Structure 1
Amino acid sequence: MVEKKKINVGLIGYKFMGKAHSHAYRDLPFYFENSAVPVLKTVAGRNPEGVKKASEHYGFQGYTTNWKNLLEDEEIDLIDIVTPNNTHVEMTIAAARAGKHILCEKPLAMTTAEAYRILETVKENNVVHMICHNYRYTPAVQMAKKLIEEGKLGKIYHIRAHYLQDWIMDPKIPLVWRLKKEVTGYGAHGDIGAHIIDLARFLIGEFSEVTGMMQTFIKERPISTDSDGLSGSTASDKTGQVDVDDATAFLAKFSNGAFGVFEATRFAGGNRNGNRFEINGEKGSIRWDMENMNNLEVYFDNDPKGLQGFRTINCTEEVHPFAGAYWPPGHIIGYEHTFINLLKTLIDGISEGIIPTPNFEDGLLNQAVLEAVEKSAEKGTWISIKEVLEQAKAESCKHLSN
């Protein structure tokens, strides 16, 4: 028996996303027998007790409280970064210079200029890189992409996408790091809005201009006594200012002439994870809802009169992308499988020396849209994505020259 290639993983961070990524690495060889085998080598975290516990629970061989130790370990091939957004630029650049392949959680950086620096560094050091927009790797979304590429919808006219959550509606929810601009950069806009921006780019094409608005509903919250980014954190008696958006809405023009409407909010009661889109073309339309992730709703204009309407396709058959690796048709898969599919693509890319998508170029273009919307909200006007990218390039080049 030929021994499979192994790819040693160093994970920085171990909470919500650390758990999701670790689970996916462990399950990947079970479902995709022909891929290289990811090995959970070392996990890094600041809290000695917490990272030790995570190491044992997730199945890592060891742990460290200094993430730079992962870069010095010659056995580690891949650095996986699941830490708060303000750490990404330092960690990705250091990992690239150490010759490590990189997976980074979204958004890639705090600014477009930072994202540009990251992209230039991974290119210079010839490492494989990927950003974790896992919703691309839902079989139903991959099927939507296939239908669009095959021209089944014809010319695309509209996309309307929203990502609705409600986990911080209670004013007593503490001021966790996801609500601090110096740590996260954006609120709902960068946290969940980044996902629908990426899905739009994946399915429709590049943004050309945006105009938007941003709103913070609860401007002061109890200070958190720990570093958790979700609502499970405990609160102190003191309060602090919320300086990121609770909700963002924007209009978009695409380079191919399509038109888009987008909304991201954490104040939509009853929506636990309402990531949804509808795309309309000259020949048909598609709808998708993450809370019903296996189903893709499809409408074709050439159906006979009297039989027209949206049909529901359960994307769990072998003809549907990635679905054949799992269970028989109709045996649905879940959230965790989006990470398995993405990591399978990354592991294959490392094995073959191919940079998969979404990668750090996608991260840069996503960051430019995020920044353009913020600038539009400040100025009350349409903002060109091209101009944001050109300015970021100039700022980045100035930084590198210094």
Structure 2
Amino acid sequence: MDSQHSVAPLGVGMVGYAFMGAAHSQAWRTAGRVFDLPLRPVMAAVCGRDPEGVRRAAQGHGWAAAETDWRALIARPDVQLVDICTPGASHAEIAVAALEAGKHVLCEKPLANNVDEAEAMAQAAARAAQGGIRSMVGFNYRRTPALALARQLVAEGRLGALRHVRAQYLQDWIVDPDFPLVWRLQQEHAGSGALGDLGAHIVDLAQYLAGERLTGVTALTETFVRSRPLPVTAGALAGNSTAGVPRGVVTVDDAALFNGRFASGAVASFEATRFATGRKNVLRIELNGEHGSLSFDLERLNELEFYDASEPAEAAGFRRILVTEPKHPYLEAWWPPGHVLGYEHTFVHQIRDLVHAIAAGQDPLPSFEDGLQVQRVIAAVESSAATGSAWTSVQQPAVVTEAAPA
């Protein structure tokens, strides 16, 4: 504890306190207790619109104070970093204001609801970086030790030239047609549906693991249930009946399927859906190269499958790597080999990397520019699906700077 208080504090203010807010709160509480950080995170304040709700969140998650106006949170002198965990519609306004106020920013994915907003955020981040202010987008799955190891193996050339990437993200939480019209099903709040919520993760992972960007896509999307009951209090739904409850229009996709091509010529296929009945949170990704393959499944997140094509055919096959060794990414601070980690640890690792980057005066990854690139892919998917185009190019910046692996 003494060593923790011997380093300079980093005051954190978080906007939003629901699912992601809870995950981020645990990470801020934990990171400095597990890793030897160069700055000491201090949970200064959490912000939300509901005074009673945010007060309970502050008490439950360990924040010192509660605010109901994000502008007031940004203005607090004890906040040096703003962590944005709100729906996508507010990301750009909050992030740009925080950066212009000289605060570091961590923003949940997807970076924004559209390319214009994401571009404004990336430009604000670039301006702020000139004054030493850092920003990062929260693609937490990059911090899964097995996927970080996969990136290392690809960067070392263990797969050779990349040929094919295939990725799936499958959930089923809205298969019931009477599930209410929550904000994630409304374009004005969420930007898109399964495409932005789930597809953004697998697009980022595909580009991160491959070490290159997608240049074009061909896509289709579908909305299976086009109207849903408007949210009401639980007491109004006696017997779980929605009879007589007004319904609203679903304005986002339920599923998105698309193929893509990388700059090197490697091909990719993606599937993101909330209608995979029985699948709760399945994220699978596989890379095939000239010298080998890698395969990962989030339901076995401590494992990585690796195939080495140089081995004799009679003994060759995918082998399971249990990613719990001290030399594996992030594992030096945790438990003895074989003692597995979970979903929540990806957020702890995210905080660890962000704090180290801020202390070192370096731009953390994934950057807002990386988040903008994912947004450009999402926009190309939406355009291809809307027009029925066989091929839609992904908009590219004037100067492309490839992101180094974490």
Above 0.5 in TM-score? yes
1:358 aligns with 2:361: no
Q: Would you say the 8 A contact 2:83–2:105 is kept in 1?
A: yes
Selected match of 1:133 from 136, 139, 152 = 139
1:215 aligns with 2:215: no
Aligned to 1:385: 394
Aligned to 1:198: 204
- Trace 1:45-64 onto structure 2 (pairs within 5 A): 45-64=48-67
Q: Would you say the 8 A contact 2:128–2:134 is kept in 1?
A: no
- Trace 1:12-91 onto structure 2 (pairs within 5 A): 12-91=15-94
Q: Which amino acid aligns with 1:214?
A: T
Gaps of 5+ in 2: 234-239, 399-406
4+ runs deviating over 2 angstroms: 233-236
1:109 aligns with 2:115: no
Residues 234-263 of structure 1: CA deviation (Å, up to 9, x unaligned): 978110010100000000010011100000
Aligned to 2:284: 276
Q: Which amino acid aligns with 1:207?
A: L
CA distance in structure 2 between the aligned counterparts of 1:92 and 1:34, rounded to whole angstroms: 24
Local SS of the residue matching 1:152? coil
Local SS of the residue matching 2:105? strand
Residues 86-105 of structure 1: CA deviation (Å, up to 9, x unaligned): 00111011101111000001
CA distance in structure 1 between the aligned counterparts of 2:65 and 2:342, rounded to whole angstroms: 29
Aligned to 2:97: 94
Local SS of the residue matching 1:237? coil
CA distance in structure 2 between the aligned counterparts of 1:349 and 1:301, rounded to whole angstroms: 37
Aligned to 1:187: 193
CA offset at residue 225 of structure 1? 3.2
CA distance in structure 2 between the aligned counterparts of 1:54 and 1:35, rounded to whole angstroms: 27
CA distance in structure 2 between the aligned counterparts of 1:166 and 1:187, rounded to whole angstroms: 13
Across the aligned residues of Structure 1 and Structure 2, the Cα RMSD in angstroms comes to 1.5
CA distance in structure 1 between the aligned counterparts of 2:97 and 2:32, rounded to whole angstroms: 29
Local SS of the residue matching 1:364? helix
Aligned to 1:175: 181
1:252 aligns with 2:260: yes
1:305 aligns with 2:313: yes
CA distance in structure 1 between the aligned counterparts of 2:38 and 2:72, rounded to whole angstroms: 27
TM-score relative to the length of structure 1? 0.93
Aligned to 1:118: 121
Q: Would you say the 8 A contact 1:9–1:76 is kept in 2?
A: yes
CA offset at residue 111 of structure 1? 1.1
CA distance in structure 2 between the aligned counterparts of 1:199 and 1:363, rounded to whole angstroms: 12
Aligned to 1:153: 159
CA distance in structure 2 between the aligned counterparts of 1:125 and 1:151, rounded to whole angstroms: 35
CA distance in structure 2 between the aligned counterparts of 1:8 and 1:104, rounded to whole angstroms: 16
CA distance in structure 1 between the aligned counterparts of 2:241 and 2:191, rounded to whole angstroms: 22
CA distance in structure 1 between the aligned counterparts of 2:20 and 2:155, rounded to whole angstroms: 31
CA offset at residue 181 of structure 1? 0.5
Q: Would you say the 8 A contact 1:164–1:264 is kept in 2?
A: yes
Aligned to 2:402: none
Q: Which amino acid aligns with 1:65?
A: T
TM-score relative to the length of structure 2? 0.92
Gaps of 5+ in 1: 227-232, 391-402
CA offset at residue 385 of structure 1? 1.0
Identify if the C-alpha distance between structure 1 residues 57 and 168 changes in structure 2 by more than 3 Å, giving closer, same or farther: same
Q: Would you say the 8 A contact 1:29–1:35 is kept in 2?
A: no
Identify if the C-alpha distance between structure 1 residues 234 and 361 changes in structure 2 by more than 3 Å, giving closer, same or farther: farther
Local SS of the residue matching 2:325? coil
Q: Which amino acid aligns with 1:108?
A: L
CA offset at residue 163 of structure 1? 0.2
